[in-house]
């Protein structure tokens, strides 16, 4: 496989353990910083959250569960993709990712549409994956937050289980540079560069670049990725700041649907077996986007923030995909597909935030308006196999190189979406112990879908109100009890048999929990119940049409602990029990489990760090990830197809040679277990990687 780089500039890596600037490398000593009472800053813990309330708020004062993954954990587990972090958050499950082309996840059992762009996520407060997205890379990440429960009261459309919010690394006025390189199993080679510093006394820059060339344990599969992300922060005056950020990313990789289950059983074919055609080549995914934010502070209590973002995405490629496994259990009919997607997303917002006190009650206000316009052009042509032309492959003895069938146009759509929202939130403080959060958002959503094949345009206009209410009792600086209820909405695409637009999905969640902060750790226990109605289901009276009549629900308990244990030990523990199932559907039996959602999952990581005579510092640790049995497809009650439970073990270690040089190593899947990450159905099952080793060097100056 070629090692030809796509970028001419010097590259360097921030692969988990190799990603810190000189200034950040010094942070590894991780001193405790007093916040209030017993609460302190510790490894793996964010003492404040911005995404949950759109203001910087102590996590102990937020009446919702918020999980945070910072750059220290990203570094420790050597995560290079956003999806690598899902395993380390309670209640987050990997979902079908459309053959590796984009990110998709579920929170508390609820996921987005894996056939479009996956579940929504935010980048710096902007919706950032409408249309198509290159899988999120960690090179630019400062932290990832998972907002548990419905978030529509602040962010509009979304699923009721929760939402992921990414915050990128910002320009700094202290100069720091990191270059590095990582290499590992299956020919992996990755480089990144992270450079920041002042341009003038009032202008700072940051430039992040990544180049990656990967082989794979999958036969004939390899991939290439790159990313460039320059950004600038301009302090226009003492009270006004302008921030600009640009990011462009590209991935070239085959569409890899994974392996098939034979008669509902996995393991008949090796995890390495590729069911497509190597000569199809790569799917090419590209996206580029701009973000502008202007903040003005009127005084210490009040500020206004205006933001604008624009994003373009493209996807094109050809693929041969599993269509039907024949009764002999070895002959797989395949479908040939060609796609070309393009999208453009423009969005803006204006928000005012402030604090006031009336009648002895403290108020923290957030009020804003936002709007977006999204255009999505979709073209798909595909073949349908027949007995005369099955385009088949033997799954036990594949022979590649068959001529591709002639595809016919199946989809030719232009989707236009416009949305506007108004929102307001007030956090009321009744003395030192009680806080109440109340928020409300109004959304207007208009969509037109032009079907160029049929010469028909379908339109819909929907509005939604999304309230949320939460209460916190701070028994002490170290103990908080909270409860909340919130609503969500998500528009359904398409129309019923009469041409009427479907009602949007509506979600409603309840949650209660406890947060307990030690001097160097934080623990959260949360119990939740979430339901969603108006889920599309088959229309029993009109074949080929749908009705917004389905209902699903999820309930469960989550536990998270992270921090320091003393004597050089630090770690995290996450556990989740999630019972997610269908409660009403015209096809599925009530009680059917939701796809790819384990009832029981968890992870744990323990690191030991110490100073050594010849180096500044060294550390070693181990982690384990457990994912329980999951339904393999939506018809699980009929064919019994399940993904088996699995556990994998990770070992990691590093040596901070001096303030400039750091070396690290990570060994994944220590016991070389065969496991399956997710599926769409029994023909598209994503296997996990076997044992793999990655080593990194980073030089900071």
Q: What is the pLDDT of residue 46?
A: 57
User: Secondary structure of 424-451 in the HEC alphabet?
Assistant: EEEEEEECCCEEEEEEEEEEEEEEEEEE
Q: What is the pLDDT of residue 589?
A: 85
> What is the mean predicted confidence (pLDDT) over 536-546?
77
Q: What is the pLDDT of residue 496?
A: 76
Q: What is the pLDDT of residue 90?
A: 98
Query: How confident is the model over 56-111, as pLDDT tens digits?
Result: 999 999 999 999 999 999 999 999 999 999 999 999 999 988 888 888 999 999 98
578 in any annotated domain:
yes
pLDDT band at 117 (very low <50, low <70, confident <90, very high): low
DSSP per-residue letters across 561-629: EEEEEETTEEEEEEEEEEEEEEEE-SSSPTTPBPBT--SEEEEEEEEEEE--SSSSEEEEEEEEEEE--
Query: How confident is the model over 420-433, as pLDDT tens digits?
Result: 999 999 999 999 99
In three-state secondary structure terms, 397 is coil
For residue 64, the 8-state DSSP code is S
Q: What is the pLDDT of residue 519?
A: 86
For the chain, the distance separating the N- and C-terminal CA atoms, rounded to the nearest angstrom, is: 33
Q: Is 134 exposed, middle or buried (0-12, 13-18, 19+ CB in 10 A)?
A: buried
Percent of the chain exceeding pLDDT 90 equals 81
619 in any annotated domain:
yes
| Whether the predicted pLDDT of 16 surpasses 50 | no
4 in any annotated domain:
no
Q: What is the pLDDT of residue 586?
A: 84
Write out the residue range of the structural domain in which residue 347 sits.
Answer: 16-700
Q: Please count the structural domains in the chain.
A: 1
Mean pLDDT across the chain: 91
168 in any annotated domain:
yes
| Whether the predicted pLDDT of 1 surpasses 50 | no
Residue 364 in contact with residue 346, Cβ under 8 Å?
no
Query: How confident is the model over 33-51, as pLDDT tens digits?
Result: 333 334 444 445 557 899 9
- CA gap 365, 475 in Å, rounded: 24
> What is the mean predicted confidence (pLDDT) over 287-309?
98
CATH number at residue 136: 2.40.170.20
| Whether the predicted pLDDT of 4 surpasses 80 | no
390 in any annotated domain:
yes
2 in any annotated domain:
no
Question: Which pTM does this prediction carry?
Answer: 0.91
pLDDT band at 116 (very low <50, low <70, confident <90, very high): low
Q: What is the pLDDT of residue 635?
A: 61
498 in any annotated domain:
yes
Query: How confident is the model over 138-197, as pLDDT tens digits?
Result: 999 999 999 999 999 999 999 999 999 999 999 999 999 999 999 999 999 999 999 999
636 in any annotated domain:
yes
Residue 575 in contact with residue 602, Cβ under 8 Å?
yes
Name every residue whose Cβ is closer than 8 Å to that of residue 423 and which is 6 or more positions away in sequence: 153, 154, 366, 367, 368, 369, 370, 439, 440, 441, 442
Q: What is the pLDDT of residue 27?
A: 37
- CA gap 210, 124 in Å, rounded: 20
């Amino acid at each position: 496989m070629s090692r030809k780089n796509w970028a001419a500039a010097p590259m360097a890596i921030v692969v988990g353990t190799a990603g810190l600037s000189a200034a950040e490398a010094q942070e590894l000593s991780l001193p405790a910083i007093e916040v209030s009472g017993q609460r302190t800053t510790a490894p793996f813990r964010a003492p404040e959250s911005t995404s949950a309330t759109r203001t910087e708020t102590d996590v102990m004062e937020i009446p919702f569960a918020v999980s945070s993954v910072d750059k220290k954990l990203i570094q420790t587990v050597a995560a290079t993709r956003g999806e690598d972090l899902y395993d380390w958050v309670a209640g987050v499950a990997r979902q079908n990712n459309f053959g590796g082309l984009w990110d998709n996840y579920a929170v508390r059992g609820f996921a987005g549409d894996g056939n479009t762009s996956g579940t929504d996520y935010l980048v710096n407060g902007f919706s950032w994956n409408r249309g198509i997205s290159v899988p999120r890379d960690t090179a630019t990440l400062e932290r990832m937050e998972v907002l548990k429960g419905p978030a529509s009261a602040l962010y509009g459309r979304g699923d009721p289980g929760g939402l992921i919010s990414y915050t990128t690394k910002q320009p700094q006025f202290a100069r720091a540079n990191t270059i590095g390189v990582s290499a590992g199993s299956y020919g992996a080679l990755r480089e990144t560069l992270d450079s920041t510093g002042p341009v003038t006394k009032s202008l700072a820059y940051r430039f992040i670049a990544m180049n990656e060339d990967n082989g794979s344990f999958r036969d004939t599969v390899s991939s290439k990725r790159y990313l460039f992300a320059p950004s600038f922060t301009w302090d226009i005056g003492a009270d006004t700041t302008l921030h600009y950020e640009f990011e462009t990313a590209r991935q070239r990789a085959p569409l890899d649907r994974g392996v098939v289950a034979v008669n509902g059983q996995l393991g008949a074919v090796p995890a390495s077996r590729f069911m497509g055609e190597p000569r199809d080549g790569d799917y090419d995914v590209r996206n580029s986007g701009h973000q502008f934010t202007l903040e003005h502070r009127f005084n210490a209590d009040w500020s206004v923030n205006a933001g604008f973002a624009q994003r373009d995405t493209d996807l094109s490629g050809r693929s041969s995909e599993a269509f039907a496994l024949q009764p002999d259990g070895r002959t797989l009919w395949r479908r040939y597909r060609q796609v070309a997607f393009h999208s453009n997303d423009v969005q803006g917002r204006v928000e005012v935030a402030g604090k006031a006190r009336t009648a002895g009650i403290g108020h923290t206000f957030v009020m804003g308006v936002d709007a977006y316009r999204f255009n999505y052009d979709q073209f798909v042509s595909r073949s349908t196999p027949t007995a005369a032309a099955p385009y088949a492959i033997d799954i036990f003895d594949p022979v590649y190189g068959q001529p591709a069938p002639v595809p016919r146009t199946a989809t030719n759509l232009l989707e236009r979406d416009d949305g506007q929202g108004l929102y307001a939130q007030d956090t009321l403080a009744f003395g030192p112990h009680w806080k109440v959060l109340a928020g409300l958002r109004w959304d207007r959503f208009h969509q037109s879908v032009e079907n160029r094949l049929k010469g028909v345009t379908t339109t819909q206009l929907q509005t939604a109100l999304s309230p949320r209410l939460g209460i916190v009792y701070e028994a002490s600086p170290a103990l908080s009890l909270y409860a909340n209820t919130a609503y969500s909405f998500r528009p359904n695409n398409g129309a019923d048999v009469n041409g009427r637009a479907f009602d949007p999905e509506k979600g409603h969640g309840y949650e209660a929990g406890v947060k307990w902060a030690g001097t160097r750790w934080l623990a959260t226990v949360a119990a939740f119940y979430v339901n969603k109605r108006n889920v599309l289901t088959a229309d029993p009276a009109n074949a080929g049409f749908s009705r917004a009549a389905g209902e699903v629900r999820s309930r469960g308990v989550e536990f998270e602990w992270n921090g320091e244990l003393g004597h050089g030990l630090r770690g995290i523990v996450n556990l989740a029990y999630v019972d997610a199932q269908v409660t009403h559907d015209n096809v599925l039996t009530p009680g059917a489990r939701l796809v790819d959602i384990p009832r029981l999952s968890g992870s744990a990581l323990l690191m030991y760090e110490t100073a050594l005579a010849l180096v500044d510092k060294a550390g070693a640790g181990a982690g384990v990830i457990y994912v329980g049995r999951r339904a393999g497809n939506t018809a699980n009650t009929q064919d019994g197809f399940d993904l088996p439970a699995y556990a994998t073990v990770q070992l990691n270690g590093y040596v901070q040679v001096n303030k400039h040089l750091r070396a690290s190593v990570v060994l994944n899947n220590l016991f070389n277990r065969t496991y399956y990450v997710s599926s769409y159905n029994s023909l598209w099952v994503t296997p996990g990687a076997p044992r793999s080793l990655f080593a990194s060097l980073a030089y900071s100056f």
